[in-house]
Structure 1
């Protein structure tokens, strides 16, 4: 199949990809006669084929000029051919290893490099996304998306009233949604980042999975940090320091809201696919969240509330994750995963599942981080080689 996509390709050997298979793609690592490695991937279902098509558009739009703005590599497609469903796609192999979110160490290194990498994505010019017809949402449209998820989940009669109220208060808080949309990856999770050892320490050398590329709420690319309790503070600090724009003041609160809303998306996915196991898992997680917030809802959920969520509570909030399920965060050309957001043609994903004590969606102000309307552009690590 790879030679149908790259006719002059001479394959000397093959092996499995480091992440294994989730059923979304058939994939393999190939060694060529040029002593280089390439990755071949074929979608296993129509949904994966749709995500693959979007990612191909996104990667092809990333010109040399766009890529030069990034300090890390992104996949380069070297050939493709029709398949059923979708296409056979051959891309260059990107070396590196993943560090699971819960194992991302604090301090300089992986955490600070991740923060800088996210800031670089958010600093890309929006025009290259809009020019190829990918979604470009206003802050109001981002809020409407959140409201739509809440309303759909509430209509199932499986969303606890305390959680519906918690989310609705946050979604209706005008101050929370005063931000400048940026280019976002849209499917970021810990599994998106390829890490390599460098003389200065472990750094992000590649970012994979670009099927969610769009202009939208930058908090969507940060919500997975609720599952990285050791490193979240350092990632956010590096992100703020690296941004060419001043991050809006309440980006962490929206990130937490987006993370919790993944539970609603998980529930809706289970109902849409008639998967009772997924539905029961989502209901159980929502029940766990309501147990955590009951007794703390007397204060309104808004940025001005005096009661704030302690850092220790944030760390506990979303330590459970339908671990990016057979779906680990994104369906990308480089990482097999599931998109929890089934709402539209261009949907993003990633997951964060709450657990333990939480309060209102309020985070402490960690240093000066004033609101802005401007926008532009080692610990325990899992060093399983990535066969990208």
Structure 2
């Protein structure tokens, strides 16, 4: 049962001693509804948000998010050109817990708005995350994934999707050829958000102002944080990648965009696996339909295999149409574990869609 804003405000006063709430309202993005959430205005003029998980998956995600945010010290946050949520307190409730954060204004980024200054800001925002020193991630005991681990994780997703009996043979061949291409996996692992999507980026009219959803913070493949870019228009996607590369000031990764596209396509397989884990026939049918659509577009366009450095395999408009309804790894989407080596703990999630 959904908790009312008044119930959530009362929980907030228990979570943050001395907190005086003068106004509250329901907070929702109108999508997944894996949290009950409310925004509050306090007597001292602050705006806060309180969130309570509705599902076990959301509760697990919230716990991982708190660990990640706790690892992000003031020094780490000062290196980022955007704001990151700050947990202010928590209180147990009905077998779960309510967590109060400072409220970060902004609206989720829409892919058709990725152009001009917004493309610059988005590229620089992702570059800033990937330029963070790795020590704080390691000190917090968060997952770390080598390039080999990333390659093996992708192969595991493909194999497990194949085992469902629902993966079209053409996609298995296409993806496995890319996964087996050693040149694809010659990259330097970086600090990554791990579940970044357009919805994770809170923006105003010109720039990224905040990034939410840090439950998959880790060291791994930077292309994972750029998969969402493949849904933008071609010029916009190129602009984001260009500003990203300038922001990194690191050795070029010639296969970055190809891995990003591979991850974007594999999210359909992850959605299929999620449906099988939940035994949810509606999710399974949805994933199968999207996989069939991808097969048709691959054949219709006569595209080259992913392992060949020949540019995007689909034009961006087609990718956007196909993936616009693709679930982001956000609140409530149970993480699909990826076998990625002895040192890898699979923690996936996404951004914080509240209802």
Is the shorter-chain TM-score for this pair beyond 0.5, marking a shared fold? yes
**Distance in 2 separating the partners of 1:226 and 1:151:** 24
DSSP-derived class of the 1:42 partner: strand
Contact 1:224 1:350 in 2 (8 A): no
After superposition, the C-alpha distances for 1:294-342 in whole angstroms (9 at most, x for unaligned) are 37779554235xx5546x62431342236354xx4422xxxxx535635
Partners of 1:61 and 1:323 lie apart in 2 by 32
1:203-235 deviation digits (Å, cap 9, x = unpaired)? 111111101100000000000112112521111
Question: Aligned residues, how many?
Answer: 337
- Distance change >3 Å, CA 324–CA 62, structure 1 → 2: farther
**Alpha-carbon distance between aligned partners in 1 of 2:123 and 2:251, rounded to the nearest angstrom:** 14
Counterpart among 253, 264, 268 of residue 269 in structure 2: 264
TM-score normalized by the length of structure 2: 0.88
| Residue 58 to residue 280, structure 1, CA distance change in 2 (3 Å) | same
Q: Once the 2 structures are TM-superposed, how far is the Cα of residue 56 of structure 1 from its aligned partner?
A: 0.4
Unmatched runs of 5 consecutive residues or more in structure 1? 332-336, 352-385
Give TM-score, length-normalised by structure 1: 0.81
Report matched runs for 1:173-192 at 5 Å. Answer: 173-192=181-200
Contact 1:209 1:330 in 2 (8 A): yes
Map 1:96-115 → 2, pairs under 5 A: 96-101=106-111, 103-107=112-116, 109-115=117-123
Which of residues 89, 93, 96 is equivalent to 1:79?
A: 89
Conserved? CA contact 1:120–1:242, under 8 Å: yes
Q: 1:153 aligns to what?
A: 161
Over 3 Å counting, the alpha-carbon distance change for 1:218 and 1:80 in structure 2 is same
Tell me the equivalent position of 1:63.
73
Tell me by how many angstroms 1:350 deviates: 6.3
Paired residues for 1:1-388 under 5 Å: 1-20=11-30, 22-101=32-111, 103-107=112-116, 109-197=117-205, 202-229=206-233, 231-294=236-299, 300-303=305-308, 308-309=311-312, 313-321=315-323, 323=325, 325=327, 328-331=328-331, 338-339=333-334, 341-343=336-338, 346-349=346-349
Q: What corresponds to 2:5 in structure 1?
A: none
How far, CA to CA, are the matches of 2:293 and 2:157 in structure 1?
Answer: 19
Please tell me whether the aligned partners of residues 122 and 184 of structure 1 are also in contact (alpha carbons under 8 angstroms). Answer: yes
The whole-number CA distance in structure 2 between the counterparts of 1:294 and 1:114 is: 32
For residues 301 and 323 of structure 2, what CA distance do their matches in structure 1 show? 23
Alpha carbons 2:34, 2:54 under 8 Å: kept: yes
Deviation at 1:42, TM superposition (A): 0.7
Instruction: State the Cα distance separating 1:18 from its structure 2 match.
Output: 4.4
The answer as to whether partners of 1:250 and 1:303 remain within 8 angstroms in 2 is no
The residue that corresponds to 2:8 in the other structure is none
Q: Secondary structure at the match of 2:323?
A: coil
Give the match's secondary structure for 2:36: strand
Cα offsets for 1:70-92 (capped at 9, x unmatched): 11110011111223443211010
**SS at the partner of 2:52?**
strand
Q: Comparing both structures, which one devotes a greater share of its residues to helix?
A: 2
Q: What are the superposed Cα offsets for residues 361-380 of structure 1, whole Å, 9 maximum, x if unpaired?
A: xxxxxxxxxxxxxxxxxxxx
Alignment match, 1:378: none
Aligned partners of 2:119, 2:311: CA distance in 1, in Å? 24
